[in-house]
Amino acid sequence: MNFRLLVFYISAAIALSLASLSYFYVQKWHQALLILFVSMVISFILLTNILHHHIHNRISNIYKLIRSLKLGKDMKVVLAEHASEDPILSTEKEVREWAIQKSSEIDQLKAQEKFRREFLSNISHEFKTPLFAIQGYIETLKDGMMEDDIDMATNFLNKASKNIDRLTYLINDLDEISKLETGQISIHIEKFDIVELILETVDHLIDKAKKQNIEIIVDLKITHPVFVKADRQRIQQVIINLIDNSIKYGKEGGKTKINIYPLLDQILIEVTDNGQGIEEKNLPRVFERFFRTDKSRSREIGGSGLGLSIVKHIIEAHQQTVHARSTEGIGTTFGFTLEKAKSAL
């Protein structure tokens, strides 16, 4: 309902009341109609002037002030822009839009707060576990084990060293993610052969796979070079993380397979294992920091718990996509896309 319609209804109500009283006392319908018409006109004019001066203009000024503060504009500019608008309708619309926006912001803040609490809890646990282990080994060595049992002391020192390595990985990976998120690490795009890079990366990891009795199969089905546009060093880091992840969570005697699929303007690279797989409910969270589907086994096999999160950040920095699909008990596939390089590059 706009301002003039509201005044019309109020004027009509006043006129009908006066006409009814006139007819009740005089019993002349033509006189009642005259009073109805005259009082209607007078009421409409008076109410329009009074309400417009005392209410309408004040609401209009408040609305324009809100707009000027919201948009950061000069007051004169805002007054000129909204001089012809109905302030009541405009204010109602603004408040409705504001309420929807704030509701969305509150939901986002709640989600961020939940993520922050989980992140602090996870990082605290990740640091405390190796620190307590190192502290325990050192305390035992200080109690005289170095003199009593040299072999056991050496074993404890080796375990303490592994936990120190774990802390180093954790700190380095946290630093890496922080730099990727803040843009401190720039992406250097170049043209290179992704097939050559995959073979080179597999060669680095073949010994680690053999220790876990896992076979790495490079099933490219492509004999010619496949050129992409990306940061070669960062993409190698992605491939290393994905293959390393498949080795950690693959079953003994299992296989890790790498495939390349040419798309229209992109190249899809997939790393597949036939390990324990991931529950469907956990798939949307696999790229979160420190998220582990099997926490006890994950900590036993080591790693920072940040590898897949780093993968996601690197691929998104290339404005490409990364995905995961899995069937529990059968295996998991991680895939990512890269921009295909034109021959003229």
Domain range for 47 is: 3-85
110 shares a domain with 75? no
168 shares a domain with 48? no
75 shares a domain with 15? yes
What's the number of domains the chain is made of? 3
201 shares a domain with 79? no
Pairing type for strands 255-262 and 215-218 reads parallel
**How many residues comprise the chain?**
345
Q: Which long-range contacts (CB under 8 A, 24 or more apart) does 166-169 make?
A: 166/130, 166/302, 166/303, 166/304, 167/127, 167/130, 167/131, 169/302, 169/303, 169/304
Among 182, 217, 252, residue at a domain's last position: 182
198 shares a domain with 170? no
Among 85, 113, 134, residue at a domain's last position: 85
Residue with tokens 């204010």: 91
CB 130 within 8 A of CB 163: yes
162 shares a domain with 45? no
105 shares a domain with 62? no
198 shares a domain with 334? yes
Q: Collect all residues with Cβ–Cβ distance below 8 Å to 340 and sequence separation of at least 6.
A: 226, 227, 228, 229, 262, 263, 265, 266, 267
What pTM did the predictor assign? 0.60
Among 182, 203, 219, residue at a domain's last position: 182
User: Would residue 251 count as lying in a domain?
Assistant: yes
Q: Collect all residues with Cβ–Cβ distance below 8 Å to 32 and sequence separation of at least 6.
A: 19, 20, 22, 23, 26
pLDDT along the chain (345 residues), means of 10: 69 77 67 76 77 64 60 51 56 72 81 70 73 83 70 82 81 77 79 94 91 88 86 94 89 90 92 89 83 55 72 92 90 94 63
293 shares a domain with 245? yes
pLDDT of residue 239: 95
